[in-house]
A = this chain, B = another copy of it.
Amino acid sequence: MSHEIEQQLKRAMRGLAQSVVVITTARNGERHAMAATAVCPVSMDPPSMLFCINRSASAHAILSKGAAFCINLLSERHEALARLCSGPTKGEARFGSDAFDMDDEDVPFVLDAQANITCVQDGRMSYGTHDVIIGKVRSVRVADTIEPLLYVNGAYAALAR
């Protein structure tokens, strides 16, 4: 029964179109960049965001120790970066391209993203295989154009014009 619900939920989630986001984080020189879609705003008071991460993800080790992170909203032209950050290349090797930079607090971020939302951790809850991590927003950079990269039905997609 639970297995059947899992299969049905996966089917339902294929139809949940979400903006593609890359979470970047670093601690003591260890850097990670991972694509995520389970990301949403929490509150504007204080300005805050959350994301869900599998505790088996390689970035989880430093995030569980409280590392700051950046939520990078990708735009349509970032499909290759999204694939890199969800593919077999792991850890530091994802930073081989010139897609990233580092801010004044040593948090990596995606250059030229639609938005960069840098957060310090301010809450965490474990549930099942995952942690829900809440970040209090420390700084935001936003581009002028809105052309988000979407993921739906197992593929990247764009908004209708």
User: Which of A79-87, A104-112, A127-135 lies at the interface with chain B?
Assistant: A127-135
* Complex Cα spacing A15 to B142, Å: 9
Taking the complex as formed, is A73 at the interface, i.e. its CB lies under 8 A from any CB of chain B? Answer: yes
With beta carbons under 8 angstroms apart, the residue of B19, B48, B52 that contacts A128 is: B48
* Complex Cα spacing A134 to B131, Å: 12
With contact pairs A40-B37, A41-B38, A159-B150 given, residues A48 and B127 touching in the complex (Cβ less than 8 Å): yes
| Consensus secondary structure, chain A interface | strand
* Complex Cα spacing A46 to B107, Å: 32
Q: Are A128 and B161 in contact (CB under 8 A)?
A: no
User: Which of A4-12, A25-33, A58-66, A89-97 lies at the interface with chain B?
Assistant: A4-12
Q: Note all chain B residues with C-beta closer than 8 A to A15.
A: 19, 73, 114-115, 142-143, 146, 148
Work out how many copies of this chain go into the complex.
2
Interface size band for A: 35 or more
Q: Note all chain B residues with C-beta closer than 8 A to A45.
A: 6, 128-129
Distance of A53 from chain B, by nearest CB (Å) = 10
Q: Note all chain B residues with C-beta closer than 8 A to A12.
A: 73, 114-115, 117, 140, 142
20 new A-B contacts, CB < 8 A, other than A6-B45, A17-B19, are: A5-B137, A5-B139, A6-B44, A6-B47, A8-B139, A8-B140, A8-B142, A9-B137, A10-B44, A14-B146, A15-B114, A15-B148, A16-B115, A41-B52, A42-B127, A43-B130, A44-B128, A50-B50, A146-B153, A160-B161
Taking the complex as formed, is A39 at the interface, i.e. its CB lies under 8 A from any CB of chain B? Answer: yes
